[in-house]
Amino acid sequence: MLLNTSRIMKSFQILNSLRHPNGLFSASRQAVSTGYDKAWIRDNIYAAIGMEAFDPLLAVRTYHALLDVLLKHESKIDWAIKAKPKYPYQYIHARYDAHTMNEVWDEWGNKQNDAIGALLFKIADLMDRGLMMLRDENDLRIIQKLVLYLASVEYWHDKDNGMWEENEEVHASSVGACVAGLIRISAYVNVPQWLIEKGRKKLNQLLPRESETKDADLALLSLIYPYDIVTNKQREQILKNTEEKLLRNRGLIRYAGDKYYGRDGEAEWCFGLPWLAVIYKGMGNMAKYRFYMQKTLDAMNENDELPELYFAGSDDHNENTPLGWAQAMFLVAVSQ
């Protein structure tokens, strides 16, 4: 496994190249034709986690930008708090124009509760470490409204689009993200205990499955890292299912039967490799850490970039290269 400072710094520079002056990250290069020049809430959080591995202050800029996005659309959040949204467009949008912070109004699976849970979780996580995440009363107000929003959508049994923005189901990865976020942010804003307990109960009913239609799913790794919201037994079952059913040569399939970029079979997603490396390093299993780090390095292209995915069983990756989320997970894996 060849890891040196220059290679790590190059990966940092690759990730940083996706950042805009306002602090938001495009999901991939701004020149791609796939729409990945947009800024996703969730992708920005994971990109910020990668920056945090180098300097937490670099991450703070991104969270402040995300709060600015939500403050810009505060009236929409107010409407969603008054009455549970009925249609995807009434939910907090998943994607924004990275320059203007305006919603992207293409038809989209905008019911993504995990993104809100993730934002609450990381803001509280950095506040716990003494960082100045709340600039003023506006930030505090919008964070409190995000708690009220999760209560209004009834996240614990809300059929959302999940991490992969696809069919509407109750997703364990979404419920778990919300539970983790509500627990952590409860130190700073008002979070009713019942709101957490409803999520805990549903999460334990769902696990180790992701949803009614999916047993093994790459999204479940988030419940281990960064959220650490599962028991040891649940963690072991998630990892067993992931490695036995999803692991491939150049990445992990998201779930059995995945058709996204499904040329000749399920696409192999690169960020699953450093994600597993991070998890096993945290568990103290250095043999598996080294195994997944080597597979991560093998998945990099000639420019040391981690693509979004490789087409099934091939050396051909898609245009979304580098994927900020993947590059960020690599940085976490080499820095922790």
What letter represents residue 139's amino acid?
A: D
Task: Using the predicted structure, report yes or no on whether residue 1 has a pLDDT greater than 80.
Answer: no
Phi-psi region of 261 (alpha: psi -120 to 50; beta: other; left: phi over 0): left
| Residue 29, domain member (yes or no) | no
The reported pLDDT for the residue numbered 336 is: 65
Percent of the chain with pLDDT over 90: 94
Q: Which of 29-33, 109-113, 235-239, 254-258 has the lowest mean pLDDT?
A: 29-33
**Which range of residues forms the domain containing residue 176?**
38-230
Say what the pLDDT of residue 6 is: 84
The pLDDT mean for the chain works out to 96
Tens digits of residue pLDDT in 125-184:
999 999 999 999 999 999 999 999 999 999 999 999 999 999 999 999 999 999 999 999
**What average pLDDT does this structure show over 257-282?**
97
- For residue 182 the two structure tokens come to 């509500």
Q: 143 with 77: CB under 8 angstroms?
A: no
Total structural domains within the chain: 1
pLDDT at 330: 97
User: Does residue 269 register a pLDDT over 80?
Assistant: yes
Say what the pLDDT of residue 7 is: 85
112 vs 105, more confident: 112
Q: Dihedral of CA 289/295/300/306: which sign?
A: negative
* Whole-number Å distance between alpha carbons of 157 and 175: 8
pLDDT at 3: 72
Domain-located, residue 6? no
Q: How far apart are CA 310 and CA 13, in angstroms?
A: 22
Q: If pLDDT is split at 50, 70 and 90, which confidence band does 236 have?
A: very high
- Residue 2 confidence (pLDDT): 57
Q: What is the pLDDT of residue 106?
A: 83
**Does residue 324 lie within any of the structural domains?**
no
- pTM higher than 0.85 for the full model? yes
* pLDDT tens sequence across 278-336: 999 999 999 999 999 999 999 999 999 999 999 999 999 999 999 999 999 999 999 86
Residue 9 lies in a domain: no
Could you tell me if residue 282 is inside a domain? no
Residues 13-29, mean pLDDT to the nearest whole number = 97
121 located within any domain:
yes
- The tens digit of pLDDT for each residue in 77-111 reads 999 999 999 999 999 999 999 999 999 988 889 99
Q: Rounded CA gap, 173 and 3, in Å?
A: 32
Q: How far apart are CA 176 and CA 233, in angstroms?
A: 16
Residues 6+ apart with CB under 8 A from 331: 8, 11, 12, 15, 50, 51, 53, 54
Binning pLDDT at 50, 70 and 90, where does residue 4 land? Answer: confident
Average pLDDT over residues 199-215: 98
